[in-house]
Every structure is written in C-alpha cells, then in structure tokens.
Structure 1
Amino acid sequence: MNGIHKDRLNEFIGKIEQLDAQLGPLPGIATAQRRQCWAQQIVSSLRRISYTDTLLMRSVNAARRDPHSGIFDPVRGALHFQRSGQLDEAVWLTFVLTHFGKHAVDEWKLAANVYGSFGVGPVWTFAQYAAAPAGFENMLAANSGRLADASISGSFSNHRKFQSKKPQAIAKTFRTYYEWQTEFGGFRDRMIATHASVGQEPQAAFDALYKSMKGVFGFGGGRLGRFDFLTMLGKLQLAPITPGSVYLDKATGPLAGARLLFFGDRDHHITGRALEPRVDALDGVLGVGKQVIEDSLCNWQKSPDVYEYFRG
C-alpha cells in the first residue's frame, strides 16, 4: 500500500491478531491473508478521515460552494460557509452532499444540478430554500426529465444508490430535513437543545441527534444516511459530536462484515442490534474509532481475501 498511514499496516495486523485472545475466536479472520486484508481496509478508512483533517488546515476558494462553478466541491464549500460564520448554510450543504454523495464517475454532478437548478435557476442555499420551498419543488418538477436521465443529471453515490430521483421523493427529503434542522430555530439552537437534554459528551450528543432524525425521509428509515451525515458534521467540526457505536441496527454492508468476522458467514441470522455491542468492543483493541470500524468491515466483507479500494 502507498500513502498516509501505510506505516501502520503491521500495527493493525498485530492488533487484529490480538482480537482472538481478548474477544474469542473470530472465524472470519482465521487466515493471515484475511487479517492483512482487513488491516488494509482499516488503513484506507483512516485515510478518508485524514483527508478531511487536511482540508481543515487549508484555505478554501469561495467558488467551491457554487454549483455553477467547475470547481464545485460541497465538502470544501461547507467549510467556506462555516469560516464565513454561516453555520446553517454549512450544515445544509453537508446535508446536500450526504444525500446525493460523490459518485465514482459523476462525482458531485447530481448534487450540483439539484442544488444549482441545473444551471438555469437559483442556488438552493439554506436561505433560498427557506424563502421559497415551493419554488424548489417546482424546479424539481420542471426538471423531471433531466433527473430521469443519469447522463444529464448525474448519479447518486454508492452509499445512496437506492434513493429515488423522482421530484416528489427529493422534495420530501429536503422538506423533512429542513424541518429537522429548523425545529428549534437554527442548527446552533438544535445543538443547544441537545446539550440541554443529554449533556455535552460528544458520543451522547451524536446518539441523540441520530435518534432525532428518524422523521427525515430517506435518512431516518435506515441508518447509513444519518450516520454518514452526522459523522461528516463531526469531521468538518460543524458539531462537537462523534459516534460511540457502529449503529448496526438496519445496517447492510457493515452488518454483513460483522457477521463474517464473528461467524464466518455474511448471512448469519444474528441481528444487528444483538451484534452491535460485540462490534463496538473491537475498538477497545483497535483504537481507531467506530466510524473506521464500520467502514472497514463494510468494505472488507466485499472482498475479504484480496484488498480492493472502495469509494463511499
């Protein structure tokens, strides 16, 4: 492997070898080849987080937040909003980037098209959406044909591939998310209310926000949308939160990886809720954080014997 954290590969192989002694036999990593493969996925997951850490130390061009610009990048754009003192805009753009995701080929094309009215209308910032939610829905309806044609609109990322591009579905996601972000006023008010309810411990706050998003269409019914959104808020330092669990209930890829790890079978009958504490306990040995564990298990189970790089 090349790149950052490659020097930690042997460290993680050693820690993985300790798991059997501390947590019991793990059939999924009985071979050295599988232990190395999972260790490589852990390194890849750490790199993705390190990328965000690097962005925090760099300057950001204002064009990064403009969907009509050729250098539109909503991750950097959210940082620019935050540095401009516009927290609600930063959190809103983080929602947009999470909902559509970065496609392996199209990259941010779908997010740019919806956020930027396909280049022929307003940019649907938090303020613009608040002023004219019906206008946003009309824009979606007017572009239903473009949305249906992936060659024009772009595609969802792998994490969001089951989301619908029908105007009414996108409209419902934006509407219910906006209601969530503004329930107490702005996002800062939601954080104040969360801290008043559960305290300021980052894991407790993450959990409270995670549970509070159940009503957000396209996010609350499952767990990946909520998990990805909230972990991104934490990585971009838009909220003082961090996951204290892998949140396996209703998971797919991470749960398959956990089942493979503990039982040697991706399709084992054990539920995510029952397996979650055992997976959380892995971090006591690996010490990489819950997001890295869930991400690396998800990618490892796709190819447990031969390392492959996977994008989100």
Structure 2
Amino acid sequence: MIINKTDARANITNNLKLVELQIPLNGLHGERIDCFIDQIIHSLRRTHYIDTIKQRDISEARIYPNNNQFDPLKASIFHFKNNNIDEAIWLIYLSTFFGKNIDSGWNLLRLVYLGYNSQWTFENISNNFKEFSKWYKESWKEISSTNSKKNKFGNHRKYSTLDPEKKLNPIDCFEDYIDKVGVNHESLFNFIEENSKIKKVSKFSLIYKYSNYKGFGRMSKFDFSSMICKIGVIESEIDRAFINKSTGPLSGLKDLLDNQNIKPQEAELVFNKINDLLDLGPFRGQVLEDAICNWQKSPNKFKKFSL
C-alpha cells in the first residue's frame, strides 16, 4: 500500500476536526499539530510496509540464516505463501522475542536460528529441544559477540538476557512457547477463529489475549499479534492497542489530552474513540499507538524513532 503524503495529511487533518468535536485535544496546538500528523503518516508507512513486501516476489535466499540476505519477516512471508504456517509464525515469534537492534540488526536472531549444522526451525526445535538446550548453553557467549560486534536485543527488549542461568533466557522462553503451542499452531488458530465469532471480538484481540508467553509483556504481545495479522496468517483488523497497560502510548495520550490524571481504563476508551474517528485503516490500532508513542518523545518537532 503506497501512502500519498498529501492525501494522507488532508484526510488526517479533516478527521482530527471530527475528533475535536467530541474529544478536546487540549495538548495539540501550534507546531504540535503538524508534528503529530507527520508521526501518523510515518506510522502509516511503517505499518503498511509488510503489505508492500507481500506484493513482491521474495527470494528463497531470505529464509536461510547462513545467507547474508536473511530477513526473518520476509522469510515469514515466504513460508506463509508456501503454506508452511508453523515456520511463518515461529519466525514472527523469534523476531518479536529478539527484536531488531539499531546496530546489529537481526544478527542475534540469525545466529540462534542458524544453530550448528542444524537450523532451529519450529519442527526441529520442537522435536529436539534437549539438543537445542545443550547447544545453546555451549554457544551463547560466542553468539553474543561476533566479528568484534556485540549482538544485542532490539530496543524494546532491553531487559532480556542471553544468559541461560538468568530468568527469561531463550531456553526457558522457547520451551514455554513450544509447550503452549503444541505440535503445531493449528489448534490455537482454529480456537481463535471460532471464538471470535462467538464472543464477537476481533481475532486480533484474541491473539493478543492468548499470547501470554514467558518473556512477553504488553508490547511483545501487541507486536506479535499485529504481525500475525499483517502477514495474513490470521485475517483481522488491528482495531485496538491496549494502551491501558502501556507506558509510552499512555503517556502520549495524556499529553494529547493535556490530562495527566486520566485513569488507564478511561484512557483506553478515549484512545479507541479517537482511533475510530481518525479512520486510519485496517491496522489503525497499531498506527495510532505507534504515532502517539513517538509523538510524545518529541511533540514539537518531528523525529524518526523507528528502524
């Protein structure tokens, strides 16, 4: 999806006026307005990046971690297009768990996924977890630093650890994920499909609810669930953001309203109302969440904060 900046600005400006009729945005004035709109446009472009990639032919080289073209998200799309759903979701999980670092990129994920003479695909690690655990304990120090470069977790995973002796290390977290998923992801996603109709909530909301994997906080659950929907494994709009459990987005909404005393539960309702009125498309929950979070870091001057 190509985002035309001129058209997007006009639509957002008009829709902000609709928001103001119902919800006074007292923190949005002067140069802050243009800055906020620029963050929304930037967020639209980032959020729809996967849509753009899905339209292209993806080289098979992208799926192999021993290839310098390896990219876990493009690999996930490749596997999804080739009906290897388990591997597509496993790569979404890994990309969420490790994150993309501003300096070392996906290298930490790549080296763990690569293994030693045995790529740790979902099938392989599920069937040979003891072997993975043994290999990881022997390899984690070497993995953490290659070619004089420190391989790190992404910015949002800064409290994560590679040390197998510490809590929430990859061995413990992967084991928890595999135990909860089972032999494949089919039963979980059948459950999501069926209960979405029964409970009349979005499939995205249910994925989020049931993504209580070890080491996953609110942001990891949100990113994991969003990517599953954007790649198309589950077809659902990203209609919410669960900001009542957030830090940056909740802080940003308070600044937008110029109301530091609003309760998290009420803030969630207000966010959803603004989200609907702005009409930012099928991924609107993530678009607005990302935009508000980045805007509050620099409300008067537009800055790019995302990779």
**TM-score, length basis structure 2:** 0.90
Instruction: For residue 281 of structure 1, give the secondary structure of its aligned residue in structure 2.
Output: helix
- Alignment-derived partner of residue 12 in structure 2: 12
Residues 140/270 of structure 1: CA separation in 2 closer, same or farther (3 Å cut): farther
- Alignment-derived partner of residue 65 in structure 1: 63
C-alpha distance after superposition, 1:137-169 (max 9, x if no partner):
222211232355485451122222222222351
Quick check: 2:153–2:160 contact (8 Å CA) kept in 1?
A: yes
Choose from 243, 247, 251 the match for 2:242: 247
The aligned length equals 298
Tell whether 2:151 aligns with 1:159.
no
Choose from 35, 42, 45 the match for 2:43: 45
- Report sequence identity in percent: 28
Residues 116/152 of structure 1: CA separation in 2 closer, same or farther (3 Å cut): farther
Tell whether 2:299 aligns with 1:294.
no
Structure 1 spans left out of the alignment, 5+ residues = none
Trace 1:296-311 onto structure 2 (pairs within 5 A). 296-311=291-306
**Aligned residues: CA RMSD:** 2.1
Trace 1:1-312 onto structure 2 (pairs within 5 A). 4-7=3-6, 8-23=8-23, 25-29=24-28, 31-117=29-115, 120-149=116-145, 152=149, 154-167=151-164, 169-182=169-182, 185-199=183-197, 203-214=201-212, 216-219=213-216, 222-263=217-258, 268-288=260-280, 289-311=284-306
C-alpha distance after superposition, 1:35-57 (max 9, x if no partner):
11111011011101221111111
Residues 147/166 of structure 1: CA separation in 2 closer, same or farther (3 Å cut): farther
Quick check: 1:210–1:230 contact (8 Å CA) kept in 2?
A: yes
Instruction: Choose 158-167 or 37-46, whichever is displaced more.
Output: 158-167
How many angstroms does 1:252 deviate by? 1.4
Quick check: 1:194–1:205 contact (8 Å CA) kept in 2?
A: yes
Structure 2 spans left out of the alignment, 5+ residues = none
Quick check: 2:100–2:106 contact (8 Å CA) kept in 1?
A: yes
What is the one-letter code of the residue matched to 2:277? V
How many angstroms does 1:211 deviate by? 1.5
2:201, 2:152 → 1: CA distance? 33
**TM-score, length basis structure 1:** 0.88
Instruction: Choose 164-173 or 194-203, whichever is displaced more.
Output: 194-203
Instruction: For residue 48 of structure 2, give the secondary structure of its aligned residue in structure 1.
Output: helix
Residues 103/46 of structure 1: CA separation in 2 closer, same or farther (3 Å cut): same
Quick check: 1:203–1:243 contact (8 Å CA) kept in 2?
A: no
What is the one-letter code of the residue matched to 1:43? I
How many angstroms does 1:179 deviate by? 2.1
Instruction: For residue 226 of structure 2, give the secondary structure of its aligned residue in structure 1.
Output: helix
What is the one-letter code of the residue matched to 2:164? P
1:48, 1:200 → 2: CA distance? 33
1:303, 1:132 → 2: CA distance? 47
Quick check: 1:202–1:241 contact (8 Å CA) kept in 2?
A: no
Q: Which protein has greater RCO, CA pairs closer than 8 Å, 6+ apart?
A: 2
Instruction: For residue 282 of structure 1, give the secondary structure of its aligned residue in structure 2.
Output: helix
Instruction: Choose 108-117 or 164-173, whichever is displaced more.
Output: 164-173
How many angstroms does 1:202 deviate by? 8.8
1:249, 1:179 → 2: CA distance? 29
Quick check: 2:204–2:238 contact (8 Å CA) kept in 1?
A: yes
What is the one-letter code of the residue matched to 1:45? S
2:178, 2:266 → 1: CA distance? 33
How many angstroms does 1:186 deviate by? 2.1
1:273, 1:164 → 2: CA distance? 32
Quick check: 2:65–2:114 contact (8 Å CA) kept in 1?
A: yes
How many angstroms does 1:298 deviate by? 0.7
